[in-house]
Amino acid sequence: MVLSSLSSSDFKKYFTTNSTLSALHGEFLLKGPLSQGGIMVLHQPNLFEVYITKKHEKKCMEKGLAFYSDQEKFNIYFKKFKKYVSRAHKKIIPKYKIIPKHINKKELDEDIDFIAKLWKYYGLAEFMFTDLAYTKGPIKAKKNTYLTNKFKFKAREVMNAYFFKNGVIDNILNYCSQHFLKENDAHYLYKDELLDLFDGKEPDQNILNERKKAHGSLVIEGNLQRLSSFQSLALSQRLTFTQKTEIQGIPISPGKVRGRAIIAPMLNDHESIAEINKKMKKGDILIAESTSPDIMMLCEKASAIVAEQGGLLSHAAIISRELKIPGIVQATFATRIFKDHDLIEVDAYKGTIRKIG
């Protein structure tokens, strides 16, 4: 694979978060069903980006249509998904509510594998698997995608417990850093490297130092490739376009409004969400990476919702319809292009968002 040949025309942004996420976070995504989407994750300090290839997104749509139309396969999946969420609440989340006092290698191996399974189930509930089944599938496919997306809100509670600061993943990695390394170096290690720590194998410090600058991984046609800091930074710069005053998304709730923008990037702590809530006024336009029950107080103040993520059954889509306000999803880089208090117009008939002042 020639990385220099990759361009923005090959990729579609899946999501970004303004947080320094661990190598383990990226590894979970790369090994889940989203890997069928030709997924790429790029890590930088205070920035975590995930892209899928446009070519493989179409394949995921077709696979999702077949999957949600097969009632037997869906029933097995849905039963396992619900069982997983229940076990996560009982087994893993309480165990890692704080940094544990002791973990052995076998235990860590099993717990990481269990945590990773969330993305196995959650990935199949994402728009690249559900949207075609919902719009073009038989009645049972529409029903199955709806049930999955409704349950996904409950599964999001588990994801947040894993993902948020001082959550499950952080506490596992903090344990490894405290017992085997220095500072927070375990956050830059993949699963096999974490397990090596228990056998006295320390990571190459030069590799760690490079990963602290930037690193990434890419899966296309089933082949995984680790990216250097230089490659990761170059790809991030090549795929990011923020010099625009108007962008196009997918309308999911009709209407047209003008108002002041409030930006809500994907965050992994409740304190940052509370700060956004303080500065947001009733009637402002919410421009978010994605919406979820955690930011409902922002959605309820909004005169329109614009989300970079999501599909026809996403939280942003459902909430904007319920609130009867204009809504647009897949508005790529909206949280970077627009700034707090920009005067913007949201046209959810055409799917456009533009700066007007």
pLDDT digits (tens, 9 = 90+) for 68-85: 999 999 999 999 999 999
Mean residue pLDDT across the chain: 92
CATH 3.50.30.10 placement within the chain: 246-355
Token pair belonging to 97: 């509510």
> What are the residues whose beta carbons fall under 8 Å from the beta carbon of 271, sequence distance 6 or more?
none
- Measure the N-to-C terminal CA separation of the chain; round to a whole number of Å: 44
Q: Percentage of the chain with pLDDT > 70?
A: 96
What pLDDT, on the 0 to 100 scale, is given for residue 1?
Answer: 47
Q: Which CATH superfamily is domain 246-355 in?
A: Phosphohistidine domain (3.50.30.10)
The pLDDT-based confidence of 33 (bands split at 50, 70, 90) is confident
Contact 43/216 with Cβ under 8 angstroms? yes
Mean per-residue pLDDT for 163-175?
A: 94
pTM (two decimals): 0.87
What pLDDT, on the 0 to 100 scale, is given for residue 4?
Answer: 56
Token pair belonging to 255: 């209407």
Token pair belonging to 63: 């696979």
- Let me know the angle formed at the C-alpha of 51 by 8 and 133, rounded to the nearest 5 degrees: 110
Contact 347/259 with Cβ under 8 angstroms? no
